[in-house]
Amino acid sequence: MPHRRFKKSNPVSSLSDLQDLGMTAKEIEDDIKRYYGHRLGRDESCKSVHYVYEALSLVVSDRLIERWKKTYKAYKKEDCKKAYYLSMEFLMGRTLSNAMLNLGIDDAVAQATYDLGLDLEELTDVEPDAGLGNGGLGRLAACFIDSCATLQLPVTGYGLRYEYGMFSQTIVNGEQVEEPDHWLRNGNVWEIQRLEYTQRIKFGGRTESHIDENGNKRSCWVDTHDILAVPFDTPIPGYQNGTVNTLRLWKATATEVFDLQEFNAGDYAESVAAKNSAENITMVLYPNDANENGKALRLRQQYLLASASLQDVLELWVGRHGYDFSEFAAKNCFQLNDTHPSIAVAELMRLLMDIYGLAWDEAWKITRSTMAYTNHTLLPEALERWSVNLFKQLLPRLMEIIFDINVLFLAEVSIRWPGDRERISRMSLIEEGDEQHVRMAYLAIVGSYSVNGVAELHSKLLQQGLFNDFYELWPEKFNNKTNGVTPRRWLAACNPELAGLITETIGDGWIRDLSLLKKLELYVDDKAFCKRWYAVQQGAKQKLIDFKKQEMNIDVNVNALFDVQVKRIHEYKRQLLNVLHVIHLYDRIKRGDTANWTARCVLIGGKAAPGYFMAKRIIKLINNIANVINHDPDVGDKLKLIFMPNYRVSGMEKICPGADLSEQISTAGKEASGTGNMKFMMNGALTIGTLDGANIEIREEVGDDNFFLFGLTEDQVESLRHHYDPVAIINQDEDLQRVMNFLECGHFNQFEPGIFDGIISSLKSPHDPWVTIADFRSFVEAQKRVEVAYQDKDRWTKMSIINTANSGKFSTDRTITEYNNELWKLTPVSVPK
Ligand code: 26Q
């Protein structure tokens, strides 16, 4: 009797009243079959693994969505304070394995797929990476939201849904070739489009001012070209706790199919093109991890993120609290992931004043107590500056607000330092010159209650250097939050063998409280345990070899030292220093200086920004050297050099379990923190590194004996600059002379004369900012200590255990707990299971 089914007063609530989905292997198996056959309409004739992956993902997604709704209800009921993580990048990688682990159905799914005769690893491997980020900053955002969900904190991530993520890298004749990453080609089962929360974003036009009924000056932004921002939500599950938070990514679309005015004027093609230009805004991620100045499209992206996200939050507020904003700052805060979303400072002012009618002082008070800014770089060339002219054209109302903020701010400065004109011009939000520019970092500092760096040294250098004027004005704003990584993805999921051994030995509490890994130190003298640790490490190395062999057809000995450097290619990260050492080893082999030799396989991976010429040349150099070394019969098993193409999140998940040695060799003072260093350490690799970024804290945790330190300190680098003479250093070091000679005589570019001249002259230049030559000798000596340690298997195993055991600090659970206790002050909300 169908008509009897809707007898309840609210049919929608009875529709929503679902029974919890089954979590057993049998129930999961039945669901997979149902999705595969009924929803996706596939049968035995379908040859593509993709649809099996999709069926399984839908099964997992259903179970996430169930918990997602409960989380939403719990937050609503508590009416709790919330934090919003605003980031232009969320480098999520793959979702399936992580979702299964966090839901606690990984064993059940393994059983179900086994019973169905499927290879689970093959299924998880067909998922494309969500590569919506460049590197460290984007992956940090992804680790952060994982930890927020695990800690049951009400935090939403806001970002952009790029149609094309980080380009895919192939190597052709040793050179990087970029291919567009159309990651959405086969659809994305993890996202839900939410048209009902679409926001309107203004661009262009002009401002008009008038005096309101209270005699206050008011501005209107008129004649704008609007676009729409449509949100797509992805569920972010906590670790087996019922919490599922939200990552909301905005996609740009046109307001109407055609602009009617242009249409009526007969400009049919122009109006269709206008639709396209709106959709261009979120088409592609900018693939450079340092500033690419001045691009209007990038500014549009940044404003879209800030405006759509703030409008969303304000709409939610008004829906629940009406137009009373007195409690807004007590219940909301925004963490700005670098300056990229920092236009949010001016946008919140605009929305509060122009849309919600608040007066300047009230709006400013709210803004300054809700925004917090995280800096991720000290490199001056990476600081964002936007031309005032571009700003005026694209966002005239925001430019007005920034000028107003600046006038009031500079008044504050001149009260503190009367007559100090120099300081006023240094601190102004507007940089003068041929063309005026807006200094986005200064806007972020002035508009925030907190400014943090991402490792102790980095935060110290911000205070003493880059932002010293601001630190003197507002010391209380400045703080440090040392980065971390999520142990769910970076140990439990990516290294199940090691995770299994750890859990068998100390229980599984470490997955939520990584400091418990310390208990492993009790076992460093336990022979049986060490033997198993060694066996697991060797197994992971073999797996990496098998994987690379299938990808690149290269043979590697599992007993060789796996020496790994994977990260973006950048001069300051000094892949060149690594390469100089490889040439030195090659030279020793050629000279027959191989007594007591330690076989070594050097793995390097990373992408170069498409416009960064020097970084691309470094890739070419690595590949050319690899080509010579790997084909030289004198070298054989003693040394291999491998460039791993298309390094990405899912690549790191395969690489970090199999690494012996982690290369963290940046010029001291240049790497803000690094996070790859933490992933390797957690998985039992030893670090060879400079006193830079979080390396310093890693060394503090493991102790000097378990870390291979080399190189100049940050102070030494700075004082060396005045009298740096690399040629003199080369002349005094016979090994280095020979290395340079290999490069200069064209040994690695016999048929490509001159292609490495730029690299050679940068190394030999007294103005080389990265002082690579200065650290060569110290690096080689540290590598010798590595070899001695590696030759003693027991000693190395012990050091490896100690590294994992002391990696507890580098969990983002610790980092996020600090953000929360000191900055956000949210109360965890438990979700009924
Ligand atoms: C800016 C303007 C225009 C186009 C691109 C950009 C842009 C994009 C990405 C500038 C910088 C980035 C990314 C920076 C980054 O990843 N920094 C790294 O952040 C990590 C997390 O804090 C640190 O561990 C690394 O040390 C730092 O290099």
- Residue 638: pLDDT over 90: yes
- Residue 2: pLDDT over 50: no
Alpha helices in 553-648 (DSSP H): 575-591, 613-630
Terminal alpha carbon distance of the chain: 34
For 681-711, how does the pLDDT look when each residue is reduced to its tens digit (9 = 90+)? Answer: 999 999 999 999 999 999 999 999 999 999 9
For 530-582, how does the pLDDT look when each residue is reduced to its tens digit (9 = 90+)? Answer: 999 999 999 999 999 998 877 777 889 999 999 999 999 999 999 999 999 99
Residue that is written with structure tokens 């100390």 in the block: 506
The answer to whether the CB of 384 is under 6 A from ligand 1 is yes
pLDDT, residue 264, reads: 62
Looking at 285-294, 598-607, 661-670, 790-799, which range is the least confident one? 285-294
Q: Which helix (H) or strand (E) covers residue 272, if one does?
A: helix 268-280
For 608-637, how does the pLDDT look when each residue is reduced to its tens digit (9 = 90+)? Answer: 999 999 999 999 999 999 999 999 999 999
- Alpha carbon distance 187, 464 (integer Å): 48
Q: Are 483 and 815 in contact (CB under 8 A)?
A: yes
The answer to whether the CB of 483 is under 6 A from ligand 1 is yes
- Residue 8: pLDDT over 70: no
- Residue 6: pLDDT over 90: no
The answer to whether the CB of 135 is under 6 A from ligand 1 is yes
Whose CA is closest to atom 15 on ligand 1?
137
- Tokens matching residue 535: 């066996």
Alpha helices in 351-495 (DSSP H): 360-370, 388-394, 396-416, 421-427, 440-446, 456-461, 468-473, 487
Higher pLDDT: 806 or 292? It is 806
Query: Taking the alpha carbons of 647, 380, 671, 346 in that order, is the dihedral positive or negative?
Result: negative
- Residue 770: pLDDT over 80: yes
Pairing between β-strand 600-605 and β-strand 450-453 as defined by DSSP bridges: unpaired
Looking at 154-168, 253-267, 274-288, 513-527, which range is the least confident one? 253-267
pLDDT, residue 3, reads: 44
Q: Which of the 8 DSSP states describes residue 164?
A: B
Pairing between β-strand 90-93 and β-strand 130-132 as defined by DSSP bridges: antiparallel
The answer to whether the CB of 448 is under 6 A from ligand 1 is no
Query: Taking the alpha carbons of 688, 690, 694, 698 in that order, is the dihedral positive or negative?
Result: positive
Q: What is the position in ligand 1's atom list of the atom closest to the CA of 288?
A: 5
- Alpha carbon distance 391, 531 (integer Å): 62
pLDDT, residue 515, reads: 98
pLDDT, residue 259, reads: 57
**Residues β-bridged to residue 373:** 336, 451
- Alpha carbon distance 485, 698 (integer Å): 13
Mean pLDDT across 405-424: 97
3-state secondary structure of 202: coil
Whose CA is closest to atom 1 on ligand 1?
291
Residue that is written with structure tokens 């900053």 in the block: 137
Of 188, 89, 127, 95, give the one whose Cα is nearest residue 568: 89
Q: How far from 429 is each of 293, 388, 404, 406, 444, CA to CA, in Å?
A: 17, 11, 10, 6, 10
Site to probe by mutation for ligand 1, drawn from 139, 285, 289, 662 as the one with most ligand atoms within 8 Å of Cβ, is: 289
- Alpha carbon distance 591, 4 (integer Å): 91
The answer to whether the CB of 136 is under 6 A from ligand 1 is yes
Of 247, 307, 251, give the one whose Cα is nearest residue 283: 251
Average pLDDT over the chain, rounded to an integer: 95
- Residue 782: pLDDT over 60: yes
Mean pLDDT across 66-75: 96
Of 672, 675, 668, 678, give the one whose Cα is nearest residue 454: 672
Mean pLDDT across 344-361: 97
- Tokens matching residue 705: 């004996």
